[in-house]
Amino acid sequence: QVQLVESGGGVVQPGRSLRLSCAASGFTFSDHFMHWIRQAPGKGPERVAVISYDGTDKFYADSVKGRFTISRDNSKNTLYLQMNSLRTDDTAMYYCAREKNSAMVFDYWGQGKLVTVSS
Amino acid sequence: DIVMTQSPDSLAVSLGERATINCKSSQSVLYSSNSKNYLAWYQQKPGQPPKLLIYWASTRESGVPDRFIGSGSGTDFSLTISSLQAEDVAVYYCQQYYGTPWTFGQGTKVEIK
């Protein structure tokens, strides 16, 4: 069955960096666009970044552009999110999600990793 | 950005009764070339990630019970739970994937009366 397992969250001071990973299994990873989506406490989800099948195309939300980098390693079935210059308003649960091939929606989500940015 | 506005923010419905959640987009999400509405619905239970229920405004995801019904077109959409069950207690989100960035509504909390 499809599984997405995030790792790498935690507490970090403003201005510091953190890298999230998402290990995928149960499907052909390279056949899907993959996304990072975050959700601040009590708020709706916000898509942060998306990456194409082979990693050549990437898109970022304005709120993270220039600070976050999405990447993937199809040989390892793993998705990454490098987060630099973290701010307190980046505090959220971060999910990796698979894009459904027949519709541009998120059909599988990981359980999420909490990132807390605080001094 | 396309703004998605849900109503109400919360609602309480008796078991077995109908629950209806509304979602309005700030511009049409109907793509005229294929006549598809780029609108999805998700369910999120406490401590869990969102789960895809409906896409193309009315297509149920595999395994989703048929009591979940999506409807609407253009800028006005609804998610109806035809007969509320205890396991349906959750927050529901609409999401548009017509324009970049894809955006979600603020959520509607459904509880048992």
Note the pLDDT tens digit of each residue in B47-98: 999 999 999 999 999 999 999 999 999 999 999 999 999 999 999 999 999 9
Read off the DSSP letter of residue B61.
P
User: Chain B closest CA to A104's CA: distance in Å?
Assistant: 6
Strand-pair partners of A28: none
Tell me how long chain A is. Answer: 119
Q: How many other CB atoms are there within 10 angstroms of residue A101's CB atom? A: 10
Going by C-alpha positions, the residue among A59, A24, A56, A38 that lies closest to residue A117 is A38
Angstrom distance (rounded) from CA B67 to CA B78? 13
**Burial letters A26-54, b for 16+ CB under 10 A, else e:** eeebeebbbbbbbbeeeebbbbbbbbebe
Q: Residues B29-57: pLDDT tens digits?
A: 999 999 999 999 999 999 999 999 999 99
> CB distance B104–A46 less than 8 Å?
yes
Note the pLDDT tens digit of each residue in A57-83.
999 999 999 999 999 999 999 999 999
Task: Residue B48: list chain A partners with CB under 8 A.
Answer: 111
